[in-house]
Amino acid sequence: MKLAIQGSRSLKKKSEKVLKIIDEEVKKYNPEMIITSGEPDGVCRLAQLYCKRNGITLKLYHLNCKKYATGAFYMRSKAIIEDADHVIIIHDGESKGTQNELDLAIKLNKPYTYYQIKISKIITDTIEGFDKEMIEL
């Protein structure tokens, strides 16, 4: 069984939660191999780390910008999803790339499991001028 793990780059700050999800899904599906993207930080990098720590075969797909001048990200995601038997998608609720991967899994009629982990934001007001500042946790 080949398990694809895809998700948002912003979730590198939520590594404990992401690694727990990956661990639960690996225990559930017991894959021979995990497939993910080679370049991005976040969920894909955590999937790579998980494989290294647990001795699981890892297959990486990289962008091919020479072959696909436009659409390289889409083509990489499509190849990963087509190659997998099941797809795990871990989304921050905002990433358009991860949303596209979910849409692709649905379009390709691929079995998938979807998780959403929100990134917490605190809005602070300064006393003078009431300037608002977003702080990511």
Supply the pLDDT for residue 121.
58
| CATH number reported for the structural domain that contains residue 55 in this entry | 3.40.50.450
- Identify the domain containing residue 19 by its residue range: 2-136
Q: How many domains does the chain have?
A: 1
- Measured between alpha carbons, how far is 38 from 118 in angstroms, rounded to an integer? 24
Supply the pLDDT for residue 3.
98
Note the pTM of the prediction, 2 decimals: 0.83
The residue ranges of DSSP E strands in the chain, in sequence order, are: 2-7, 33-37, 57-61, 86-91, 112-116, 121-125, 132-136
C-alpha separations of 40 from 33, 46, 97, 100, 121 in Å: 19, 10, 11, 15, 23
DSSP 110: -
Supply the pLDDT for residue 118.
84
Supply the pLDDT for residue 86.
98
- Measured between alpha carbons, how far is 43 from 9 in angstroms, rounded to an integer? 6
CA angle centred on 49, ends 48 and 53, rounded to 5°: 120
Supply the pLDDT for residue 70.
82
Local confidence pLDDT in tens for the 137 residues of the chain: 999 999 999 898 788 999 999 999 999 999 999 999 988 789 999 999 999 999 999 999 998 877 877 888 899 999 999 999 999 999 999 999 999 999 999 999 999 999 999 876 555 444 444 444 444 44
